[in-house]
Chains A and B, each alone.
Chain A
Protein backbone atom coordinates (compact mmCIF):
# COMPACT_ATOMS: atom_id res chain seq x y z
CA UNK A 1 0.00 0.00 0.00
CA UNK A 2 1.28 3.46 -0.83
CA UNK A 3 1.22 6.15 1.77
CA UNK A 4 2.97 8.29 4.31
CA UNK A 5 4.09 6.99 7.66
CA UNK A 6 5.11 8.97 10.70
CA UNK A 7 6.70 7.60 13.80
CA UNK A 8 6.31 7.51 16.65
CA UNK A 9 2.64 8.36 17.16
CA UNK A 10 3.33 9.75 20.64
CA UNK A 11 6.61 11.20 21.80
CA UNK A 12 7.66 12.59 25.15
CA UNK A 13 10.70 14.73 25.65
CA UNK A 14 12.35 16.46 28.55
CA UNK A 15 13.07 20.15 28.28
CA UNK A 16 16.46 20.85 26.76
CA UNK A 17 16.56 17.73 24.61
CA UNK A 18 16.48 17.53 20.84
CA UNK A 19 14.11 15.02 19.28
CA UNK A 20 13.67 13.79 15.71
CA UNK A 21 10.32 12.95 14.14
CA UNK A 22 10.30 10.51 11.25
CA UNK A 23 8.35 10.89 8.00
CA UNK A 24 8.57 8.36 5.17
CA UNK A 25 6.59 8.13 1.94
CA UNK A 26 6.48 5.50 -0.79
CA UNK A 27 4.34 7.52 -3.18
CA UNK A 28 7.33 8.67 -5.23
CA UNK A 29 6.38 12.25 -4.41
CA UNK A 30 8.94 14.98 -4.97
CA UNK A 31 7.68 17.52 -2.44
CA UNK A 32 7.35 16.99 1.30
CA UNK A 33 6.12 19.27 4.08
CA UNK A 34 6.06 19.58 7.84
CA UNK A 35 3.20 21.32 9.64
CA UNK A 36 2.53 22.06 13.25
CA UNK A 37 -1.03 21.99 14.55
CA UNK A 38 -2.18 23.74 17.71
CA UNK A 39 -5.81 23.93 18.89
CA UNK A 40 -7.75 26.67 17.13
CA UNK A 41 -4.80 27.70 14.96
CA UNK A 42 -5.04 25.41 11.99
CA UNK A 43 -1.88 24.15 10.34
CA UNK A 44 1.29 26.21 10.21
CA UNK A 45 4.08 25.38 7.80
CA UNK A 46 7.47 24.65 9.39
CA UNK A 47 9.64 23.50 6.47
CA UNK A 48 9.16 22.07 3.02
CA UNK A 49 11.31 20.39 0.42
CA UNK A 50 10.68 20.14 -3.30
CA UNK A 51 13.68 18.06 -4.21
CA UNK A 52 16.35 15.93 -2.56
CA UNK A 53 19.07 17.92 -0.78
CA UNK A 54 17.04 21.11 -0.87
CA UNK A 55 14.52 22.58 1.56
CA UNK A 56 13.00 25.95 2.47
CA UNK A 57 11.78 27.54 5.67
CA UNK A 58 8.09 27.91 6.21
CA UNK A 59 6.31 30.37 8.48
CA UNK A 60 7.55 29.02 11.81
CA UNK A 61 10.96 27.43 11.16
CA UNK A 62 12.74 28.80 14.23
CA UNK A 63 13.80 26.02 16.60
CA UNK A 64 13.40 23.30 13.96
CA UNK A 65 15.71 21.67 11.44
CA UNK A 66 15.20 19.21 8.60
CA UNK A 67 17.17 17.14 6.11
CA UNK A 68 16.26 15.57 2.77
CA UNK A 69 18.96 13.07 1.91
CA UNK A 70 16.53 10.67 0.26
CA UNK A 71 13.39 11.28 -1.75
CA UNK A 72 11.36 9.02 0.55
CA UNK A 73 12.40 10.59 3.85
CA UNK A 74 12.04 14.03 5.43
CA UNK A 75 12.88 13.91 9.16
CA UNK A 76 12.15 16.89 11.41
CA UNK A 77 14.31 17.70 14.43
CA UNK A 78 12.75 19.74 17.19
CA UNK A 79 15.64 21.42 18.93
CA UNK A 80 15.92 22.75 22.46
CA UNK A 81 15.70 26.24 20.95
CA UNK A 82 12.02 25.71 20.17
CA UNK A 83 10.32 27.53 23.02
CA UNK A 84 6.95 25.80 22.94
CA UNK A 85 7.33 22.45 21.16
CA UNK A 86 4.31 20.61 22.57
CA UNK A 87 2.02 20.15 19.57
CA UNK A 88 0.73 17.76 16.93
CA UNK A 89 3.11 17.47 13.97
CA UNK A 90 1.90 16.50 10.53
CA UNK A 91 3.96 15.48 7.52
CA UNK A 92 2.59 15.71 3.99
CA UNK A 93 3.74 15.10 0.44
CA UNK A 94 2.63 15.98 -3.04
CA UNK A 95 3.57 14.78 -6.48
CA UNK A 96 4.02 18.07 -8.27
CA UNK A 97 4.51 20.58 -5.50
CA UNK A 98 2.98 24.00 -5.84
CA UNK A 99 -0.72 24.11 -5.13
CA UNK A 100 -1.39 20.47 -5.80
CA UNK A 101 -3.33 18.32 -3.37
CA UNK A 102 -1.30 17.11 -0.40
CA UNK A 103 -1.37 13.66 1.18
CA UNK A 104 -0.92 13.53 4.95
CA UNK A 105 0.62 11.14 7.42
CA UNK A 106 -1.17 10.16 10.66
CA UNK A 107 0.77 12.69 12.75
CA UNK A 108 3.04 12.63 15.81
CA UNK A 109 1.96 14.16 19.09
CA UNK A 110 4.97 15.60 20.90
CA UNK A 111 4.74 16.44 24.58
CA UNK A 112 7.53 18.20 26.42
CA UNK A 113 7.66 17.33 30.10
Chain B
Protein backbone atom coordinates (compact mmCIF):
# COMPACT_ATOMS: atom_id res chain seq x y z
CA UNK B 1 0.00 0.00 0.00
CA UNK B 2 0.90 3.63 -0.16
CA UNK B 3 3.18 5.08 2.44
CA UNK B 4 4.08 8.74 2.65
CA UNK B 5 6.32 9.52 5.60
CA UNK B 6 7.13 12.80 7.28
CA UNK B 7 8.69 13.83 10.55
CA UNK B 8 6.01 14.96 12.98
CA UNK B 9 7.66 18.08 14.39
CA UNK B 10 10.11 20.82 13.36
CA UNK B 11 11.10 23.96 15.25
CA UNK B 12 13.06 26.85 13.78
CA UNK B 13 13.91 30.39 14.78
CA UNK B 14 12.30 33.29 12.98
CA UNK B 15 14.42 34.32 10.01
CA UNK B 16 16.07 30.91 9.60
CA UNK B 17 15.28 28.48 6.80
CA UNK B 18 12.97 25.52 7.37
CA UNK B 19 13.30 22.24 5.53
CA UNK B 20 10.42 19.78 5.68
CA UNK B 21 11.08 16.33 4.28
CA UNK B 22 8.83 13.66 2.82
CA UNK B 23 9.45 10.18 1.43
CA UNK B 24 6.91 8.45 -0.77
CA UNK B 25 6.49 5.02 -2.31
CA UNK B 26 4.87 5.44 -5.72
CA UNK B 27 7.35 6.37 -8.42
CA UNK B 28 4.72 6.85 -11.12
CA UNK B 29 3.08 9.91 -9.57
CA UNK B 30 2.64 12.74 -12.05
CA UNK B 31 2.44 15.45 -9.43
CA UNK B 32 3.49 15.77 -5.84
CA UNK B 33 1.86 18.35 -3.61
CA UNK B 34 2.57 20.38 -0.50
CA UNK B 35 -0.40 21.57 1.56
CA UNK B 36 -0.46 23.92 4.56
CA UNK B 37 -2.94 23.65 7.43
CA UNK B 38 -3.28 26.49 9.91
CA UNK B 39 -4.81 25.72 13.34
CA UNK B 40 -8.46 24.71 13.18
CA UNK B 41 -8.67 25.21 9.42
CA UNK B 42 -8.77 23.21 6.23
CA UNK B 43 -5.80 22.51 4.00
CA UNK B 44 -4.54 25.01 1.44
CA UNK B 45 -2.44 24.06 -1.53
CA UNK B 46 0.98 25.61 -1.07
CA UNK B 47 2.80 24.39 -4.13
CA UNK B 48 3.26 21.35 -6.33
CA UNK B 49 5.90 19.88 -8.58
CA UNK B 50 5.70 17.82 -11.74
CA UNK B 51 7.49 14.51 -11.47
CA UNK B 52 9.76 15.39 -14.40
CA UNK B 53 11.21 18.35 -12.49
CA UNK B 54 14.01 18.36 -9.94
CA UNK B 55 13.31 21.73 -8.43
CA UNK B 56 10.66 24.39 -8.32
CA UNK B 57 11.03 27.81 -6.74
CA UNK B 58 8.19 30.14 -5.82
CA UNK B 59 9.20 33.21 -3.82
CA UNK B 60 10.30 31.91 -0.38
CA UNK B 61 9.42 28.31 -1.22
CA UNK B 62 11.74 25.82 -2.88
CA UNK B 63 10.64 22.27 -3.65
CA UNK B 64 13.28 19.64 -4.36
CA UNK B 65 12.44 16.25 -5.82
CA UNK B 66 14.81 13.29 -5.83
CA UNK B 67 13.01 10.63 -7.81
CA UNK B 68 15.73 8.06 -7.38
CA UNK B 69 15.40 8.17 -3.60
CA UNK B 70 11.65 9.03 -3.70
CA UNK B 71 12.35 12.04 -1.54
CA UNK B 72 10.56 15.36 -1.61
CA UNK B 73 11.46 18.43 0.42
CA UNK B 74 10.01 21.86 1.02
CA UNK B 75 12.35 24.68 1.98
CA UNK B 76 10.94 27.89 3.40
CA UNK B 77 13.42 30.76 3.36
CA UNK B 78 13.32 33.51 6.01
CA UNK B 79 10.71 31.64 8.05
CA UNK B 80 8.13 33.87 9.71
CA UNK B 81 5.81 33.27 12.65
CA UNK B 82 2.92 33.15 10.17
CA UNK B 83 4.50 30.04 8.67
CA UNK B 84 3.72 28.09 11.84
CA UNK B 85 1.34 25.37 10.67
CA UNK B 86 1.14 21.70 9.74
CA UNK B 87 2.59 20.87 6.31
CA UNK B 88 1.42 17.81 4.39
CA UNK B 89 2.95 16.24 1.34
CA UNK B 90 0.57 14.29 -0.89
CA UNK B 91 0.74 12.05 -3.92
CA UNK B 92 -1.90 10.35 -6.06
CA UNK B 93 -1.75 6.55 -5.68
CA UNK B 94 -1.52 4.69 -9.01
CA UNK B 95 -4.88 4.10 -10.60
CA UNK B 96 -6.71 5.75 -7.72
CA UNK B 97 -8.97 8.75 -7.73
CA UNK B 98 -7.76 10.54 -4.66
CA UNK B 99 -4.64 11.86 -2.97
CA UNK B 100 -2.66 10.05 -0.31
CA UNK B 101 -1.43 12.34 2.43
CA UNK B 102 1.55 12.07 4.73
CA UNK B 103 1.18 12.37 8.50
CA UNK B 104 2.00 16.07 8.39
CA UNK B 105 4.90 18.01 9.92
CA UNK B 106 4.05 20.58 12.56
CA UNK B 107 6.32 23.57 12.04
CA UNK B 108 6.80 25.85 15.02
CA UNK B 109 8.55 29.18 14.44
CA UNK B 110 10.18 30.63 17.53
CA UNK B 111 10.26 34.45 17.63
Task: Give chain A's interface residues, CB within 8 Å of chain B.
Answer: 4, 6, 31, 33, 35, 40-43, 45, 48, 50, 56, 58, 90, 92, 97-107, 109
State whether A40 touches B92 (Cβ < 8 A). Answer: no
State whether B97 touches A104 (Cβ < 8 A). Answer: no
If A41-B103, A42-B103, A48-B97 touch, whether A104 touches B42 (CB-CB below 8 Å) is: yes
State whether B104 touches A31 (Cβ < 8 A). Answer: no
Task: Give chain B's interface residues, CB within 8 Å of chain A.
Answer: 4, 8, 29-31, 33, 35, 40-45, 48, 88, 91-92, 96-99, 101-104
Report the bound CA distance from A100 to B31 in whole Å.
Answer: 8
Could you count the A-B residue pairs with CB atoms below 8 Å apart for me: how many are there?
60
| From A43, A97, A99, A107, contact of B101 by CB (8 A) | A43
Shortest A63–chain B CB gap in Å is 19
State whether A97 touches B102 (Cβ < 8 A). Answer: no
If A98-B92, A101-B48 touch, whether A106 touches B41 (CB-CB below 8 Å) is: yes
Task: List 10 A-B pairs, minimum CB-CB distance, nearest first.
Answer: A99-B92, A104-B42, A42-B103, A43-B101, A104-B43, A42-B101, A106-B42, A97-B97, A107-B42, A105-B42
State whether A58 touches B98 (Cβ < 8 A). Answer: yes
State whether B41 touches A107 (Cβ < 8 A). Answer: yes
Shortest A70–chain B CB gap in Å is 20
Contacting residues, chain A, for B97 (C-beta < 8 A): 31, 48, 50, 56, 97-98
Contacting residues, chain B, for A101 (C-beta < 8 A): 31, 33, 45, 48
